[in-house]
A and B are shown apart, each in its own frame.
Chain A
Amino acid sequence: MTQHIISLSRREVLRYGGATLALLAVGPMFSTTAEASPKEAKAKLAQLTGDVDIIKGRIHITLPRLSHDGTRVRIMIKTDSPMTPDDYVRAIHILGERNTVPEIASFQFTPQSGKAEIITRIRLAKSQTIIAAAEMSDGSVYMAKARCNIARGAGGCG
């Protein structure tokens, strides 16, 4: 992270305070571009999964209800699947309805994965709803939603 040298005037340092300096280095990720909309996220999800009906269930999101720092929010995703060669989760997609770019990450599994479960850390520009979708080996798609309130977003203003 040392390659990003940030120079601030004395006035700016006073304004932001020393404690937030570290955050500034990674903070304003989304500040210069507009946010996506839930409609865009839905369209992107349809693009990723293909033209199928998306059913609620079989996938579970664990996300904090409130996070003070949107730059790294821990997310855990679990699925109900036996993970056998006949019935397994092919992929999981995570999307954020109000991030600059709705897609956050996609994960590809094989029956050898044992369980289709992941833990990672994501950036959230502001308080928003997260969508997780699981593509099953038979082509069906399941989804779940979870909301996370952000006190200080990855964009600098929650």
Chain B
Amino acid sequence: MNPLTPRIKMPSQARLDEIITIKTKVRHPMETGWRKDGDGNAVPRNRINWFICRFEGVEVFSSTFHSGVSADPYLVFYNKVSGAGTYTFEWHVDDNSVLIASVPMEINNI
């Protein structure tokens, strides 16, 4: 398994206009670039600097991370469900790589 696979915990069904909780966690060292390894060499900087959540391509939440965010960034946020569709999540890393995940959402008005 890819060690950087993001983990997302959120409902797959919700009522219209329900506020859902989205819990995300991704494995990443969030290297600040200030740390030294055992031989005294600086460990190069490698951080997730930007996170964005979109619903059907429209931004609903985004976050800028600096060095003060812990390794394995854990983030809980909320969203009001506006319809059935797909939530996509992107974590942008300093080396320009992007970790992507998506979760479908269905409307259940019972």
Could you tell me which A residues sit within 8 Å of B by CB distance?
Answer: 1, 3-8, 26, 28-33, 71-73, 83, 94, 96, 99-101, 103-110, 112-115, 117-124
Contacts and interface: CB of A to CB of B under 8 A. Distances in A.
Interface stretch (B5-13, B37-45, B88-96, B98-106): B37-45
B101 to A, nearest CB: 18
A108 B62 contact: yes
Contacts of A33: 34
Interface string B41-82: 011000000000001000111111111111101111111101
Contacts of B82: 112
| Chain B interface SS verdict (over half) | strand
Contacts of A73: 70
A120 B76 contact: yes
Contact of B35 (A7, A31, A94): A31
Contact of B60 (A3, A110, A117): A110
B70 A122 contact: yes
| Chain A interface SS verdict (over half) | loop
B16 interface: no
Given A96-B68, A109-B61, A121-B74, A7 B80 contact: no
B36 to A, nearest CB: 7
A123 B65 contact: no
Contacts of B42: 32
B29 A108 contact: no
A108 B37 CA distance: 35
Contacts of B75: 118-120
A123 B70 contact: yes
